């Protein structure tokens, strides 16, 4: 099961098929654009930014509708993970900051370029809700931070029905790549049905949430390449046939 929002799973699906696996897509999140904010502040924030941070590939895409000029912005940009950095490159950015190791806000905040931001104007593109770590921490470091909430996450309207239907012939494994997606899956999960298939997650925070929710087997690995390695190792083990 590949559970990313519609349109964001092509690379992983292709890799799974190339490895002779059978990916089935079940988006656990829908992303809905929010209308751009109005007024002079929006243009001023855009024109004076020293750094624009996107928290996800979706933030890069939805941020374009909010930006009042040519896209991407001419200043330095940053992404929370490798996927966001790829989205910036695809948009045409050439000065990109991306963290090493885990693709999360903590890793980006540890990057040398974000340790000394006093006096800089930083614009954070993100979705409504979610973790609010970057803004408060960068303000504590002396940056002037503006945040644009340019999209909303929500559960698909038919998710409970789709989950129940799929569990009539349970999948061999689940790939869940965000904590919010896991929460929506848990809300849709039929009562009394065991979480017996392994769940593969790209971050320890998601993996721990899955364990707390009752998943019996949880594997954590970084990025799509890590997910692929973990899946192949799991299914190559004869004990899991």
Same-domain pairing of 25 and 48: no
pLDDT band at 238 (very low <50, low <70, confident <90, very high): low
Same-domain pairing of 71 and 120: yes
pLDDT of residue 102: 58
Same-domain pairing of 46 and 149: yes
Please state the rounded mean pLDDT for residues 159-177: 94
% of residues, the chain, pLDDT over 70: 96
pLDDT band at 101 (very low <50, low <70, confident <90, very high): low
pLDDT tens profile 169-200: 999 999 998 899 999 999 999 999 999 999 99
pLDDT of residue 240: 58
pLDDT tens profile 134-146: 999 999 999 999 9
Same-domain pairing of 48 and 81: yes
The C-alpha atoms of residue 99 and residue 58 are separated, in whole angstroms, by 18
User: Does residue 49 fall inside a structural domain?
Assistant: yes
Name the residue range of residue 85's domain: 32-154
Same-domain pairing of 54 and 102: yes
CB 161, CB 189: distance < 8 Å: no
Same-domain pairing of 57 and 142: yes
User: Does residue 2 fall inside a structural domain?
Assistant: no
Pick the last residue of a domain from 107, 135, 154. Answer: 154
CATH number at residue 219: 3.40.50.10090
- pLDDT value at 39 more than 80: no
- pLDDT value at 237 more than 90: no
The C-alpha atoms of residue 228 and residue 233 are separated, in whole angstroms, by 8
pLDDT band at 215 (very low <50, low <70, confident <90, very high): very high
Same-domain pairing of 20 and 97: no
What is the number of domains present in the chain?
2
* Prediction pTM value: 0.83
pLDDT of residue 241: 52
Same-domain pairing of 195 and 139: no
User: Does residue 67 fall inside a structural domain?
Assistant: yes
Same-domain pairing of 137 and 118: yes
pLDDT band at 121 (very low <50, low <70, confident <90, very high): very high
Pick the last residue of a domain from 120, 154, 188. Answer: 154
- pLDDT value at 214 more than 60: yes
Higher pLDDT, 176 or 224: 176
Same-domain pairing of 73 and 150: yes
pLDDT of residue 65: 93
Pick the last residue of a domain from 110, 129, 154. Answer: 154
Dihedral through CA 180, CA 182, CA 186, CA 189, nearest 10? 130
User: Does residue 231 fall inside a structural domain?
Assistant: yes
Helix/strand/coil (H/E/C) assignment for every residue in 140-181: HCCCEEEEEEEEEEECCCCHHHHHHHHCCCCCCCEECCCHHH
Give 169: exposed, middle or buried? Use CB within 10 Å, 0-12, 13-18, 19+.
Answer: exposed
Average pLDDT over the chain reads 91
- pLDDT value at 70 more than 60: yes
User: Does residue 136 fall inside a structural domain?
Assistant: yes
Same-domain pairing of 137 and 163: no
Same-domain pairing of 43 and 139: yes
- pLDDT value at 233 more than 60: yes
- pLDDT value at 27 more than 90: yes
- Which three-class secondary structure state does DSSP give residue 205? helix
CB 29, CB 155: distance < 8 Å: yes
In the block, residue with structure tokens 């409504």: 128
- pLDDT value at 20 more than 70: yes
User: Does residue 208 fall inside a structural domain?
Assistant: yes
User: Does residue 116 fall inside a structural domain?
Assistant: yes
């Amino acid at each position: 099961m590949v559970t990313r929002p519609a349109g964001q799973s092509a690379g992983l699906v292709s890799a799974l098929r190339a490895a002779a696996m059978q990916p089935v897509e079940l988006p656990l999140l829908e992303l809905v654009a929010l209308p751009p904010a109005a007024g002079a502040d929006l243009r001023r924030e855009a024109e004076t930014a020293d750094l624009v941070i996107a928290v996800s590939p979706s933030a890069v895409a939805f941020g374009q509708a909010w930006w009042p000029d040519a896209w991407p912005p001419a200043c330095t940009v940053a992404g929370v993970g490798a996927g966001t950095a790829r989205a910036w490159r695809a948009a045409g950015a050439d000065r990109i900051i991306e963290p090493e190791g885990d693709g999360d806000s903590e890793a980006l905040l540890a990057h040398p370029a974000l340790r000394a931001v006093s006096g800089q104007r930083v614009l954070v593109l993100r979705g409504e809700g979610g973790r609010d770590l970057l803004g408060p921490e960068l303000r504590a470091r002396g940056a002037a931070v503006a945040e644009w909430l340019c999209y909303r996450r929500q559960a698909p309207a038919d998710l409970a029905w789709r989950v129940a239907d799929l569990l009539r012939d349970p999948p061999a494994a689940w790939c869940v790549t965000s904590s919010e997606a896991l929460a929506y899956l848990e809300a849709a999960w039929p009562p009394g049905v065991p979480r017996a298939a392994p769940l593969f997650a790209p971050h320890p925070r998601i993996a721990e949430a899955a364990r707390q929710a009752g998943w019996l087997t949880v594997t954590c690995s970084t990025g799509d390449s890590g997910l692929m390695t973990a899946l192949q190792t799991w299914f190559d083990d004869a004990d899991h046939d």
